[in-house]
Structure 1
């Protein structure tokens, strides 16, 4: 049998990972005129990018994420123009409601603080919620509505960006597992399981819950934990709900969000996470979590009392200790960049991440503040872990 080729393939940028962070970055790098090779172990959009809820929301985020979230929303608004398909994005709004007056005050404060950052939120009393939507249980006391946000289909968004990047000239290589990456004075060389080598002077690590393994090869340790979202979908119901809707609560098991798609089904998730094993590429739905979600769904919206559940699923997401992503340049290696650890909140901002990372690699700078996401913030944690 002939040995597989070991030819080194060159590009301006190597992108490791074909989730939304990698695919959007590859797409926008081509807009800057840089050649790109994207290496994906399985299929583009296969992991967390394709198994999440599909929210395109800005409200409820840390304030320092607002510039990134606003940039992402601008891209979502142009998605058909950019890609030739819309990934089922609909700007039908995003509504958060709550059960307590204390949480209502938190929603009001967030609306006040986010307004100067470009996010205008509409506050609703229980009576106003009832008049406009008329679906919530009496225990819901207030809400906050973001009319320009919405939702999209995560199962098709990642592949759509991947196809667009390929049409724009990026080399998208699936079933290309990267085993090792080397760095020398000329750049980075990635070695795949089938014996191929790919070289570029710049590299982006966007491997989701597996990214910390790549970062460790360059002496940058990140305590990344894999968790599994608990997702479900119901039978089709008469279409009535435009916005995606979530419960705002500090009680984790109360957490719930849902949206109705055009076919009538209710897609839902939230609350406690399930087990995920990145090394074995397996995540699990826990039956007790599903039962809790169904109870909370009916508590939230009594009309869902008799709705039938037809499917559940999970995925593998990467979580950092401070619930902030790792995004930006390496603290140690020139030309190395990261975009991972989005803590189950990356789908909405992924086009903004891609545009920002492409801008950073193409020009050396970006208009989006990234200091909160620097990988160097974990250096102290790594030293303490090593010493203990």
Structure 2
């Protein structure tokens, strides 16, 4: 089977790899360079906590693959299962955490509740005013700059064609497959997989499938290197978006942080997002609530990226509802990094076998049309 994959972020490159591993002849078309869209802007969080319950089976599938990534891809993508802690500072956050833990348990996620003494003993320096926290020990982080190129290179070794700098133009459904005209030539295949991220809704619209998707850019930052002391990824349970920050420390010592600052709308033409320095003070106040010591540290870089947010914050995944042979996997709404390997594996399974062991019904492309 021939498959064209549109988009060279984590979803696209993982799909290309798993398709090629299943014996498909794959061509991946990327408008810029591999991994330079939403993937490279990602925080690198590999977490299951806080996900919509219907995403948890996919998240479990993906976590297993993250654990196998170095052996599978022949490269260290810096996946570290150091755990994920979410701090709680008020009774509202505590109630939300406990309600979520109860709802997620049947879906296979067990969260450990920590009290103030346990937080201080196990994670000194974090959230000194926290009244509680949730902890998921199997979660962690990975390197957004490494993972998509690693999947692309592994796919190439399996015979996939990876074409960068290919601006896609007209896409034609021929009845027996698809013709994709691009700046690097015209490509033909029996199946088409749309992993175009924030541009995915534009592809879907060409086939009569309208998705309410908006493009936004997160604000991310990183500090100077410090002694490596913070092992888990750190987040927060809060109803106040001004405090919704998160951070992690990489092995080189730098602290990567994000959240709190409002995302900025991005024009998809050309699709470049920039960080707003005026939002940094508010963001740092929220980060300092999680880690007070960061107030004494120099910020060396800020950045943003272009992410696609669907109205209901759930991705679009699965078969097209209008066009045989067309498949979608886009709109991960700022929380797709952890899901990436699982998405690629699931889409390859669906395309190659016409079924998928992971339930994808809540992500159907026609869910908005059915609700209208």
TM-score range for the pair, normalised by the shorter chain length: over 0.9
**SS state at 1:282 partner:** coil
**SS state at 2:269 partner:** helix
The answer to whether the Cα contact below 8 Å between 1:275 and 1:284 also exists between their aligned partners in 2 is no
Match of 1:69 among 47, 52, 59: 59
Count how many residue pairs are aligned between Structure 1 and Structure 2: 371
Regions of 4+ moved over 3 Å: none
Task: Tell me how far 1:297 sits from its aligned partner.
Answer: 1.7
Task: Tell me how far 1:173 sits from its aligned partner.
Answer: 0.7
Task: Tell me how far 1:118 sits from its aligned partner.
Answer: 2.2
Are 2:354 and 1:364 equivalent residues in the alignment? yes
Question: How far, CA to CA, are the matches of 1:262 and 1:179 in structure 2?
Answer: 42
> Match for residue 160 of structure 1?
150
Are 2:275 and 1:288 equivalent residues in the alignment? no
The answer to whether the Cα contact below 8 Å between 2:87 and 2:127 also exists between their aligned partners in 1 is no
Task: Tell me how far 1:135 sits from its aligned partner.
Answer: 1.3
The answer to whether the Cα contact below 8 Å between 1:126 and 1:140 also exists between their aligned partners in 2 is yes
> Match for residue 228 of structure 1?
217
Question: How far, CA to CA, are the matches of 2:322 and 2:271 in structure 1?
Answer: 29
**Where does structure 1 lack aligned partners over 5 or more consecutive residues?**
1-10
Are 2:200 and 1:211 equivalent residues in the alignment? yes
Question: How far, CA to CA, are the matches of 2:208 and 2:81 in structure 1?
Answer: 42
Greater shift after overlay, 144-153 or 244-253? 244-253
Are 2:247 and 1:258 equivalent residues in the alignment? yes
Seen in structure 2, the aligned counterparts of structure 1 residues 138 and 263 have a Cα distance that, compared at 3 Å, is closer
> Match for residue 117 of structure 1?
107
**SS state at 2:266 partner:** strand
Question: How far, CA to CA, are the matches of 1:198 and 1:301 in structure 2?
Answer: 51
Are 2:96 and 1:106 equivalent residues in the alignment? yes
Question: How far, CA to CA, are the matches of 2:116 and 2:265 in structure 1?
Answer: 36
Question: How far, CA to CA, are the matches of 2:91 and 2:124 in structure 1?
Answer: 20
Question: How far, CA to CA, are the matches of 1:87 and 1:229 in structure 2?
Answer: 22
> Match for residue 294 of structure 2?
304
Question: How far, CA to CA, are the matches of 1:131 and 1:75 in structure 2?
Answer: 32
Question: How far, CA to CA, are the matches of 1:235 and 1:259 in structure 2?
Answer: 13
The answer to whether the Cα contact below 8 Å between 1:329 and 1:337 also exists between their aligned partners in 2 is yes
> Match for residue 182 of structure 2?
192
Greater shift after overlay, 117-126 or 263-272? 117-126
The answer to whether the Cα contact below 8 Å between 2:96 and 2:237 also exists between their aligned partners in 1 is no
Question: How far, CA to CA, are the matches of 1:371 and 1:62 in structure 2?
Answer: 13
Greater shift after overlay, 173-182 or 102-111? 102-111
**SS state at 2:32 partner:** coil
Task: Tell me how far 1:128 sits from its aligned partner.
Answer: 1.4
The answer to whether the Cα contact below 8 Å between 2:87 and 2:290 also exists between their aligned partners in 1 is no
Match of 1:92 among 82, 90, 115: 82
> Match for residue 122 of structure 2?
132
TM-score computed with the length of structure 1 as normaliser? 0.93
Question: How far, CA to CA, are the matches of 1:116 and 1:137 in structure 2?
Answer: 29
Task: Tell me how far 1:362 sits from its aligned partner.
Answer: 0.3
The answer to whether the Cα contact below 8 Å between 1:41 and 1:178 also exists between their aligned partners in 2 is yes
Q: Which whole-Å deviations, capped at 9, do the CAs of 1:347-382 have from their partners, x for residues lacking one?
A: 00100000000000000000111111111012257x
Greater shift after overlay, 132-141 or 143-152? 132-141
Greater shift after overlay, 112-121 or 127-136? 112-121
Are 2:31 and 1:45 equivalent residues in the alignment? no
> Match for residue 60 of structure 1?
50
The answer to whether the Cα contact below 8 Å between 2:220 and 2:257 also exists between their aligned partners in 1 is yes
TM-score computed with the length of structure 2 as normaliser? 0.97
> Match for residue 321 of structure 1?
311
For the aligned residue pairs, the C-alpha RMSD in angstroms reads: 1.3
